Amino acid sequence: MSSINYDLRKIKAFVFDVDGVLSCDVIPLHPNGDPMRTVNIKDGYALQLAVKKGYEVAIITGGYTEAVQIRFSRLGIQHIYMRSAVKVHDFKDFMEKTGLSPEQIMYAGDDIPDYEICLAYGFREKHDYRQRNEINTMKIGEHIGILLLFKLPKEVEENIKDNEVYSIVWDFMMRLEEQLPRAFMYYGIMDENKFEQPSSEIGIFLPFRHFEHQLEKNIEQANGIGLGCRERILSMIK
């Protein structure tokens, strides 16, 4: 049985970086200065089989080598993005061309630019009360955007009171509101009874609708706020 907490039957597509994912991360250089990629024949078999089984497959890489283009084209992959400066833009193009949503796509990357591909759906909830004390919950204001996650070690939960952590998060949430209006910041998860519980991570969500322009700058700014919040929390561990 899989330990992945996700229904893998939802997956309809796979997107891969090349260097460090489908090619070794330590590679020789050609005399002309170009990096010489490697391939794994088992990867090749799996990729062409995925295409034959009806899965959409894409390659998004910042590099360009004609041999890489030829290799993956011969495997039947139609969506190949080379010289990808901002990978999330090409990821969005792939979604538009295939009609798929982020939760239907599995992405594999290994480098700093790949964190931008952490796409998510963000939404607000509206509650109204019906007869017999029933609560009706509706999703409103749904958006696709960038989700930045900042992991917290278990020592936070063991050594810092919840109200102290929430106080710090609130301070940085106000900074986020001031610097990046319409961004969302959260700390905590809902349990099975819809009660919020402390989480092992802080999240900042940037809806594309408001932040696609100057996306890299906005991500950098949000990343600074998230890291600052995390460091402030960690500084309280005795």
CATH of the domain at 66: 3.40.50.1000
What is the chain's alpha carbon radius of gyration, rounded to the nearest angstrom? 21
Average pLDDT over residues 80-108: 87
Identify whether the C-beta of residue 234 lies closer than 8 Å to the C-beta of residue 156.
Answer: yes
What per-residue confidence (pLDDT) applies to 126?
Answer: 64
Q: Report residue 95 as tokens.
A: 């979604």
109 shares its domain with 131:
no
- Is 70 exceeded by the pLDDT of residue 121? no
Q: Which residues of 71-85 are buried (b: 16+ CB within 10 A; e: fewer)?
A: bbeebebebbbbebe
- Is 80 exceeded by the pLDDT of residue 36? no
3 within some domain: no
Distance separating alpha carbons of residues 235 and 223, to the nearest angstrom: 18
DSSP 132: G
Domain hosting residue 71, numbered range = 8-117
1 within some domain: no
Predicted TM-score (pTM) of this structure: 0.56
What per-residue confidence (pLDDT) applies to 179?
Answer: 95
The mean predicted confidence, pLDDT, of the chain is: 81
- Among 3-17, 24-38, 49-63, 147-161, the range scoring the smallest mean pLDDT is 24-38
Average pLDDT over residues 75-82: 95
Give the ranges where 14-137 is alpha helix by DSSP (H). 41-52, 66-74, 87-98
44 within some domain: yes
16 within some domain: yes
- Is 90 exceeded by the pLDDT of residue 101? no
Q: How confident is the model at residue 1 (pLDDT cuts 50, 70, 90)?
A: very low
> Considering only CA atoms, which of 111, 135, 124 is closest in space to residue 62?
111
Q: How confident is the model at residue 3 (pLDDT cuts 50, 70, 90)?
A: low
164 shares its domain with 209:
yes
SS3 172: helix
DSSP 136: E
- Among 120-129, 153-162, 221-230, the range scoring the smallest mean pLDDT is 120-129
129 shares its domain with 155:
yes
